[in-house]
Amino acid sequence: MSAFRSIAAEGVIRFIFFAVTILQLCCPWTGRGESTGDMFSQDATGFYRDFRGVFSSPAHFDDSDWMRVAAIAGAATLSTLFFDEPVRDFALNHHTPFLDTVMPVGDYYGRFRTGYGVGSLIYLGGILAGADDVRLTGRAVLEAHTFAMMITGVLKATTGRSRPFKQEGNTRFSLFATENPNWSFPSGHATSAFAVSSALSTRIKRPWATVGLYALSTLTAMQRVYDDKHWLSDTIVGAAIGTAVGLAVGNMINDEEVRMEHGYAESSEPVPLLGVTVTF
């Protein structure tokens, strides 16, 4: 039965993103008749520029940006102190056949390979169709997923928090852990899901898409707690990382698209990350 649910969940996610790709390809798109090599070269340059923008941004944080960071850290701390254990107990005691059927969709959406699969599907669709906007959407997903997972991966390995199913409590940390059961903080699934949803939402710019994408991300976060893989605080921080990076990358790609339409290669405008502005 579990295998059937996993297959069904995979089918649902694949259908959703097939529909997103078709929507992107069927909408009016822009193409400049460039060669495939030129497009790959431009995207490699853009990938580096966006990487630099995301990872250099903390050096430019102002007071309001650090307040946002403090708010996220505070929410995670409060969750650890007061909500992690009760939420876990509630989730474990309220399993139902319906939720057992629905939750695998969230699991599949947040998987490492799903983010790259979705981004690659959209990106290659844009390359084959010669559609700059579709290609840039795919690149936004790939960048957001990569950058966000790099941050989460470092935090997982350095903090070494025990997963709930180890029955060691929510305050057990083993620094620089090398085993998956000690990689609870933050949630990689939540990071990936919110990074993909945020990047796509910023690019698609349709309310129904935004609602649907963030609903999938929220389901992913719920599934991690429901299946006893993560504490609530793990998913809060993972969602924050994914959302911040996804929105930042999506906005950078949007700015790049505008520059392309006007024939500009580089930007002199600042790019926001968590409210901060970075000038290239």
Q: What is the pLDDT of residues 211-223, one digit of tens each?
A: 999 999 999 999 9
Strand locations in the chain (E):
270-273, 276-279
Burial of 63 (0-12, 13-18, 19+ CB in 10 A): exposed
User: Is residue 127 in a domain?
Assistant: yes
Average model confidence (pLDDT) across the chain: 84
Residue pair 109/14 in contact by the 8 Å Cβ criterion:
no
Tokens 């929510």, residue?
Answer: 170
In the chain, % of residues over pLDDT 90: 57
Of 106, 108, 119, nearest in space to 20 by CA: 119
User: Is residue 237 in a domain?
Assistant: yes
Residue 56 has which token pair?
A: 């250099």
User: Is residue 67 in a domain?
Assistant: yes
Residue pair 212/165 in contact by the 8 Å Cβ criterion:
no
Q: How many domains does the chain have?
A: 1
CATH code: domain of residue 239: 1.20.144
pLDDT of residue 25: 45
Burial of 233 (0-12, 13-18, 19+ CB in 10 A): buried
Cβ neighbours of residue 93 closer than 8 Å, sequence gap 6 or more: none
In the predicted model, is pLDDT for residue 49 greater than 60? yes
User: Is residue 28 in a domain?
Assistant: no
User: Is residue 192 in a domain?
Assistant: yes
User: Is residue 27 in a domain?
Assistant: no
User: Is residue 29 in a domain?
Assistant: no
User: Is residue 103 in a domain?
Assistant: yes
Q: What pTM was computed for the model?
A: 0.83
In the chain, % of residues over pLDDT 70: 81
Q: Which domain holds residue 253?
A: 2-22+35-279
